[in-house]
């Protein structure tokens, strides 16, 4: 695994639900979301659903640019675009959000509309 600092190590050691809460807080605070991109965005799929992967900060996305995503680079998405364009489009297309996977652990998979609700609720605290 890549050399990582103590803060990053502490956060990736959190449970998936704790990382999800961290994602909501950080994304609302910094007004940006990170994905991995290489001729298309990093996706996950199983028999039932397709998912797009997202992280709260560049360091966490970089850690996951391995294996199937080894040629992918972190790419920033503004929070406004993420809420207005991405989540609406994902809801329409039936694509879920895979939040804050780590190299060793799965993240939280959530319908895009639920993620939007959680972000909207968190953003109310910043108004």
Q: Show Cβ contacts of residue 11 under 8 Å, excluding neighbours closer than 6 positions.
A: 19, 22, 60
**What is the predicted pLDDT for the residue at 2?**
52
Q: Is 106 helix (H, G, I), strand (E, B) or coil?
A: coil
Q: What is the mean pLDDT of residues 61-83?
A: 95
- Rounded to whole angstroms, the Cα distance separating 70 from 60 reads 14
pLDDT-derived band at 127 (thresholds 50, 70, 90) equals confident
Q: What is the mean pLDDT of residues 60-65?
A: 95
Q: Are strands 50-54 and 43-45 parallel, antiparallel or unpaired?
A: antiparallel
**What is the predicted pLDDT for the residue at 63?**
93
pTM: 0.91
Residues 68-77 have pLDDT tens digits of: 999 999 999 9
Contact (Cβ atoms closer than 8 angstroms) between residue 78 and residue 32: yes
* CATH superfamily of the domain spanning 6-124: Uncharacterised protein PF11572, DUF3234 (3.40.1350.90)
């Amino acid at each position: 695994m890549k050399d990582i600092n103590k803060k990053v190590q502490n956060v990736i050691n959190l449970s998936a639900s704790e990382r999800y809460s961290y994602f909501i807080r950080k994304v609302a605070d910094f007004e940006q979301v990170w994905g991995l991109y290489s001729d298309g965005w990093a996706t996950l799929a199983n028999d039932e659903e397709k998912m797009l992967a997202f992280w709260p900060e560049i360091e966490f996305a970089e850690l996951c640019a391995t294996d199937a995503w080894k040629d992918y680079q972190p790419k920033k998405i503004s929070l406004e675009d993420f809420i207005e364009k991405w989540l609406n489009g994902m809801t329409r297309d039936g694509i879920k959000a895979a939040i804050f996977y780590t190299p060793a652990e799965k993240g939280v998979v959530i319908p895009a509309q639920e993620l939007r609700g959680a972000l909207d609720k968190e953003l109310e605290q910043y108004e």
